[in-house]
Amino acid sequence: HDLDKEQSEEEEEDEERENLFAGGEKSGIFMQNPNAKPTKPSNSLVSDILKKAAESGRGPTEELEVTRPPENSSFSGTGYKLGSEDEPSIVISNPTTPTAPTEPPTPVVRHLTFWRNGFSIEDGPLMSYDDPSNEEFLRAINSGRAPLALLNVRQDQPVDVRVARRLDEDYKPPPKKPSKPFSGTGQRLGSPTPTVITSSTPGAYPSTSSSSEAAPAPRTRELEIDESLPITSIQIRLGDGTRLRSRFNHTHTVGDIRSFINASRVGEAQRNYILQTTFPSRDLKDEKQTLIDASLLNSVVVQRYI
DSSP the chain: -PPP-B--HHHHHTTT-SEEEEE-SSEEEEEE--SSS--B-S-HHHHHHHHHHHHT---TTSPPP-PPPPPP-S--S-EEE---SSS--EEE--TTS-SSPPPPPPPEEEEEEEETTEEEETT---B-TT-HHHHHHHHHHHTT---HHHHT--TT--EEEEEEEETTS---PPPPPPPPPP-SEEE-SSSSSPPEEE-SSTT-----S-TTS--PPPPPPPPP--TTS-EEEEEEE-TTS-EEEEEEETT-BHHHHHHHHHHHSTTGGGS-EEEEESSS--B---TTSBTTTTT-TT-EEEEEE-
Equal CATH topology for 9-66+107-166 and 231-305: no
Task: Tell me the fold of 231-305.
Answer: Ubiquitin-like (UB roll) (3.10.20)
Mean pLDDT of 96-119: 74
Residue spans of the domains in the chain: they are 9-66+107-166, 231-305
Is pLDDT above 80 for 202?
A: no
Percent of the chain residues topping a pLDDT of 70: 53
Is pLDDT above 50 for 200?
A: no
Q: Which residue has the higher pLDDT, 182 or 121?
A: 121
pLDDT band at 101 (very low <50, low <70, confident <90, very high): low
pLDDT score of 20: 58
For 116-173, the pLDDT digits (tens) are: 888 888 888 888 888 888 888 888 888 877 677 777 777 777 877 788 888 889 998 8
pLDDT score of 32: 56
For 226-241, the pLDDT digits (tens) are: 999 999 999 999 888 8
Q: Which CATH superfamily is domain 9-66+107-166 in?
A: SEP domain (3.30.420.210)
For 60-74, the pLDDT digits (tens) are: 333 333 334 444 555
Percent of the chain residues topping a pLDDT of 90: 17
